[in-house]
Amino acid sequence: MENVKTEIKEKSPLGREISFCVDKAKVEQEKSAIVAEIKKTAEIEGFRKGKAPEAVVETKFAKLINENLYNRIIPDAYINIVKEKELMSVTEPDVYDVSIDDEGLKFKVYIELKPEVQLKKYKGIPVKRITPEQVTEEEVDNILAEWEKNPSLSTSIIDPVKRKAWREKILQQLDAYKKENALMQEDKQLWDAILKDVDFPVPEKMVREEAISYTEGYLSRMNLEGKSKEEVEKIAKDILDKVKPEAEVSVKRYLVLDKVAEVEGIKVEEKEINARIEEISRSAGEPLEQIRQKLEKADKIDSLREDLRIKKSI
């Protein structure tokens, strides 16, 4: 982008702060175009529609003009420098310190770069098969005993026919849980072997966002009724601190799978994206086109494509 000065500072192994200064002439040119657009439909007391002086329009709609100005200039300037310098960001950019002075429009952007992952062995890794534990009658009895303490469940559990149905359901759920747990143990063996041979810096913001996602999941399953705002915040902070190591491992796995996809040339076809959107539509119980429009409006199609690409790498 012409008329833009930039300076890139290394803030951490992956963190980069980019300072921008967009030339005043460029800013004024964009601002004039925005004012002219607003003027066409502006309704200002004392003037016919579209006939108010530009100075009056600027005063009346100063906030809107600046918002439009920032939305036009900042993304373009950022995208151009990222392409020009081949900066591969793995997180959404943080924009701050936005101001306009005699030199022009100034702002800063912080991004985290995609780390260089050097893959070693990731195929043919031996994994010890884990046999799922058998579900015992005692385990089922213990769960039923707990449920009997719940007034809303005790009536149906006391009934012999319903109790038998509950036993069968609990047995199936415990069996599925133990099988899933065995698979998770095998999965952990595999990832422990892969990750011990790779060493790369992990984007801090990615880890933080993953940890926040985990925390929100835990909080949604907790009974926080009667807790004060301060108590909930403390609980959230404690959970966030505890899940950070797990979140870091999750991000490392993602970046390794991303590299595997690159090395193996894994791509996602349009029909696979369409199939996934159909699956989301069925789960949500909403029309297919409505789901597609929501995803497109939220710019989630590329994210969906990337998720499918990563899953194909597993």
pLDDT in tens, 132-184: 999 999 999 898 888 877 777 767 777 788 888 888 999 999 999 999 999 88
Give the number of domains in the chain.
4
- pLDDT score for 201: 94
Mean pLDDT in residue range 103-117: 95
Q: Is residue 189 part of a domain?
A: no
Is residue 13 domain-shared with residue 83, that is, in the same domain? yes
Is residue 103 domain-shared with residue 162, that is, in the same domain? no
Is residue 237 domain-shared with residue 310, that is, in the same domain? no
- pLDDT score for 1: 61
Note the pTM of the prediction, 2 decimals.
Answer: 0.74
Q: Is residue 191 part of a domain?
A: no
Contact status, residue 210 vs residue 250, Cβ threshold 8 Å: yes
Q: Is residue 192 part of a domain?
A: no
pLDDT in tens, 10-53: 999 999 999 999 999 999 999 999 999 998 888 888 888 888 88
CA atoms within 13 A on the CB side of 187: 10
Using DSSP, state whether 61 is helix, strand or coil: coil
Q: Is residue 47 part of a domain?
A: yes
Mean pLDDT in residue range 194-204: 90
Last residue of a domain, one of 112, 143, 170: 112
Using DSSP, state whether 9 is helix, strand or coil: strand
Q: Is residue 303 part of a domain?
A: yes
Mean pLDDT in residue range 235-240: 96
Is residue 273 domain-shared with residue 258, that is, in the same domain? no
Residues in Cβ contact with 158 at an 8 Å cutoff, skipping those fewer than 6 apart: 148
Range of the domain at 155: 120-184
Sign for the CA dihedral angle at 109, 110, 111, 115 comes to positive
DSSP state of 102: T
Q: Is residue 171 part of a domain?
A: yes
Using DSSP, state whether 175 is helix, strand or coil: helix
Last residue of a domain, one of 89, 112, 135: 112
Q: 299 pLDDT exceeds 80?
A: no
Q: Is residue 279 part of a domain?
A: yes
Last residue of a domain, one of 79, 112, 145: 112
